[in-house]
Amino acid sequence: MFSIIEHAGFQYKVSPGETIRVPLIDAEKGSEISIGRVLLTSDGDAVGIGTPCIENATVTARVVDHGKAEKILIVKKKRRKDYQRVNGHRQQYTTLEIISINGSGKE
Protein backbone atom coordinates (compact mmCIF):
# COMPACT_ATOMS: atom_id res chain seq x y z
CA MET A 1 0.00 0.00 0.00
CA PHE A 2 1.33 3.43 -0.89
CA SER A 3 0.09 6.93 -1.39
CA ILE A 4 1.27 10.12 -3.08
CA ILE A 5 0.83 13.23 -0.96
CA GLU A 6 1.50 16.92 -1.51
CA HIS A 7 3.03 19.09 1.20
CA ALA A 8 4.48 22.60 0.82
CA GLY A 9 4.50 22.34 -2.97
CA PHE A 10 6.41 19.04 -3.05
CA GLN A 11 5.03 15.56 -3.80
CA TYR A 12 6.10 12.49 -1.82
CA LYS A 13 5.45 8.78 -2.32
CA VAL A 14 4.81 7.33 1.15
CA SER A 15 4.02 3.95 2.71
CA PRO A 16 3.24 3.10 6.34
CA GLY A 17 6.45 2.77 8.36
CA GLU A 18 8.57 5.04 6.11
CA THR A 19 10.27 8.26 7.18
CA ILE A 20 10.42 11.35 4.98
CA ARG A 21 11.97 14.82 5.29
CA VAL A 22 9.68 17.76 4.52
CA PRO A 23 10.13 21.53 4.90
CA LEU A 24 9.77 22.76 8.47
CA ILE A 25 6.36 22.19 10.12
CA ASP A 26 5.33 24.08 13.25
CA ALA A 27 4.54 21.01 15.39
CA GLU A 28 5.94 19.57 18.59
CA LYS A 29 8.36 16.63 18.45
CA GLY A 30 6.42 13.40 19.04
CA SER A 31 3.02 14.84 18.04
CA GLU A 32 0.86 13.38 15.29
CA ILE A 33 -0.25 15.39 12.26
CA SER A 34 -2.71 14.68 9.49
CA ILE A 35 -1.94 15.49 5.86
CA GLY A 36 -5.10 16.00 3.81
CA ARG A 37 -3.65 16.62 0.32
CA VAL A 38 -3.66 13.00 -0.91
CA LEU A 39 -3.29 12.82 -4.69
CA LEU A 40 -3.26 9.04 -5.22
CA THR A 41 -3.65 5.87 -3.17
CA SER A 42 -2.87 2.32 -4.22
CA ASP A 43 -3.65 -0.92 -2.41
CA GLY A 44 -2.84 -3.75 -4.77
CA ASP A 45 -5.28 -3.50 -7.69
CA ALA A 46 -7.43 -0.81 -6.05
CA VAL A 47 -6.15 2.58 -7.19
CA GLY A 48 -7.80 5.87 -6.23
CA ILE A 49 -6.85 8.97 -8.22
CA GLY A 50 -7.91 12.43 -7.11
CA THR A 51 -8.89 15.42 -9.20
CA PRO A 52 -6.65 16.95 -7.81
CA CYS A 53 -7.16 15.47 -4.30
CA ILE A 54 -9.04 12.45 -3.01
CA GLU A 55 -12.05 13.35 -0.84
CA ASN A 56 -11.85 12.17 2.81
CA ALA A 57 -8.39 10.62 2.39
CA THR A 58 -5.69 11.51 4.90
CA VAL A 59 -2.22 10.36 5.83
CA THR A 60 -1.33 10.29 9.53
CA ALA A 61 2.30 10.97 10.46
CA ARG A 62 4.34 11.41 13.63
CA VAL A 63 6.91 14.20 13.98
CA VAL A 64 10.23 12.48 14.70
CA ASP A 65 12.71 15.35 14.60
CA HIS A 66 13.50 18.88 13.43
CA GLY A 67 16.84 19.80 11.92
CA LYS A 68 18.88 21.69 9.38
CA ALA A 69 20.25 20.37 6.10
CA GLU A 70 23.87 20.68 4.98
CA LYS A 71 25.12 24.18 4.24
CA ILE A 72 25.13 25.32 0.63
CA LEU A 73 27.32 28.17 -0.50
CA ILE A 74 26.07 30.90 -2.80
CA VAL A 75 28.96 32.54 -4.65
CA LYS A 76 28.68 35.75 -6.69
CA LYS A 77 31.62 37.04 -8.67
CA LYS A 78 32.21 39.60 -11.41
CA ARG A 79 35.48 39.13 -13.19
CA ARG A 80 37.92 42.02 -13.45
CA LYS A 81 35.71 44.18 -11.19
CA ASP A 82 37.18 43.21 -7.80
CA TYR A 83 33.75 41.98 -6.65
CA GLN A 84 33.04 38.67 -5.02
CA ARG A 85 30.60 37.56 -2.35
CA VAL A 86 30.05 34.29 -0.51
CA ASN A 87 26.86 33.56 1.40
CA GLY A 88 25.64 30.36 3.05
CA HIS A 89 22.21 28.84 3.67
CA ARG A 90 20.93 25.87 5.71
CA GLN A 91 17.35 24.78 4.98
CA GLN A 92 15.29 23.71 7.99
CA TYR A 93 13.35 20.45 7.77
CA THR A 94 11.08 18.13 9.73
CA THR A 95 11.41 14.34 9.71
CA LEU A 96 8.05 12.53 9.62
CA GLU A 97 7.28 8.85 10.22
CA ILE A 98 4.21 7.69 8.28
CA ILE A 99 1.81 5.84 10.58
CA SER A 100 -1.21 5.11 8.41
CA ILE A 101 -3.07 5.91 5.21
CA ASN A 102 -6.78 6.52 5.81
CA GLY A 103 -9.36 6.41 3.01
CA SER A 104 -8.73 4.85 -0.35
CA GLY A 105 -10.76 6.93 -2.77
CA LYS A 106 -12.76 3.83 -3.76
CA GLU A 107 -16.34 3.83 -2.52
- Amino acid identity, residue 72? I
Classify residue 107: in a domain, yes or no.
no
H or E element at residue 18: none
Specify the number of domains making up the chain. 1
Q: What is the pLDDT along the chain (107 residues), one digit of tens a residue?
A: 999 999 999 999 999 999 999 999 999 999 999 999 999 999 888 899 999 999 999 999 999 999 999 999 999 999 999 999 999 999 999 999 999 999 866 54
d(CA 3, CA 37): 11
19 within a domain of the structure (yes/no)? yes
Asked whether residue 69 is domain-assigned, the answer is: yes
Give the domain range for residue 40.
2-102
